[in-house]
Structure 1
Amino acid sequence: MNMLLWILAFVLAAVFVGSGTAKLLTARDQQIERTPYVEDFPHSVILGIGVLEILGALGLILPAVTGVGPILVALAAAGLAITMVFAAVVHIRRGDGLAAALPSIVLAILSVFVAWSRFGPYPL
Structure 2
Amino acid sequence: MAPCHGLLSGLLAVFYLYAGGKKVTQSREQLQPMMGWVDTVPMPLVRTIGVLEILGAAGLILPPLTGIATWLAVAAAIGLVLVQVGGAALHLSRGEARQIGLNIVLLATAAVTAWLGIAWL
Normalised by the shorter chain, which TM-score bucket? over 0.9
Q: 5+ unaligned residues in a row in structure 2: which ranges?
A: none
Q: Percent identity of the aligned residues? A: 34
Q: TM-score, normalised by structure 1?
A: 0.93
Give per-residue Cα distances to partners, 1:19-40, cap 9 Å, x unaligned.
0001011111121233211111
Q: 5+ unaligned residues in a row in structure 1: which ranges?
A: none
Q: Name the counterpart of 1:10.
A: 10
Q: Name the counterpart of 2:75.
A: 75
- Show structure 1 runs of 4+ deviating over 2 A: none
Q: CA separation in 2, counterparts of 1:56 and 1:21? A: 12
Give per-residue Cα distances to partners, 1:65-88, cap 9 Å, x unaligned.
001100000000000011111101
Amino acid at match of 1:72: L
Q: TM-score, normalised by structure 2?
A: 0.95
SS in 2 for 1:34: coil
How many residues align? The count is 121
Q: State the shift of 1:112 in Å.
A: 0.6
Amino acid at match of 1:109: A
* 1:107 correspondence with 2:118: no
